[in-house]
Amino acid sequence: MTDDSPCVLVVDDEENIRFLVESGLELAGIDTVSASDGLEALAKASEHRPDLIVLDVMMPVYDGFEVLQRLRDRGDTTPVIFLTARDSTDDRVRGLTEGGDDYVVKPFAIAELVARVRLRLGQGRAAPDDHVLRCADLELDEDAHRVTRAGATVELSPTEYKLLYVLLSNSGRVLSRAQL
């Protein structure tokens, strides 16, 4: 971790979800620490003092709601964004009323989650590249309608540009043919 970069604790029992979230945040310049269950999450929160926690609900040992309650009981006010497959209105309301700061339902777009994290970290306003979508060394600038890879301009037809925009906007999600 760098001293000037914010740190996010990513807590999910699914390794592929943790990897996706960590990768997306790290590409956005945000350091990450991860945990795979509620007990490990509480330990990592104490050890690393993250600036924000992305927290699954359905996990072994302690579920996300219990992790949040234990954090709040010990006076930890770290912002928490729930990231979970539990999509009922009751679950969303519970997550927010028990002290969660946001609630994102799986499946999710990594670009949206990163934007929500940045907003909670105070990085969500007037950034010069707010309209640039990225995946590794590929960048799509919405304002200039320009695509670059490793700094070199990539020429695309209007249809190719639209397709790439949809794919980058929904990074981490499986899209149907109709959605494309």
**How much is the pLDDT for 161?**
84
Asked whether residue 95 falls in the same domain as residue 147, the answer is no
Task: Please give the residue that has the higher pLDDT: either 179 or 127.
Answer: 179
Q: Rounded distance, CA 52 to CA 75, Å?
A: 15
Residues 95 and 75: beta-carbon distance below 8 Å: no
- CA 46 from centre of chain: 21
Answer whether residue 127 is part of any domain.
no
pLDDT digits (tens, 9 = 90+) for 7-38: 999 999 999 999 999 999 999 899 999 999 99
Asked whether residue 106 falls in the same domain as residue 141, the answer is no
Number of domains into which the chain is organized = 2
Q: What global pTM score does this model have?
A: 0.68
Looking at the predicted structure, is the pLDDT value of residue 111 above 80?
A: yes
Tell me 179's DSSP state.
Answer: T
Asked whether residue 56 falls in the same domain as residue 142, the answer is no
Residues ≥6 apart with Cβ < 8 Å to 117? 8, 25, 28, 30, 52, 54, 81
Residues ≥6 apart with Cβ < 8 Å to 50? 7, 8, 9, 33, 44, 78
Instruction: Provide mean pLDDT across the span 84-97.
Output: 93
Asked whether residue 100 falls in the same domain as residue 36, the answer is yes
pLDDT digits (tens, 9 = 90+) for 41-59: 999 999 999 999 999 999 9
Phi, psi angles (nearest 5°) of residue 8: -120, 130
Q: Band of the pLDDT at 130, cuts 50, 70, 90? A: low
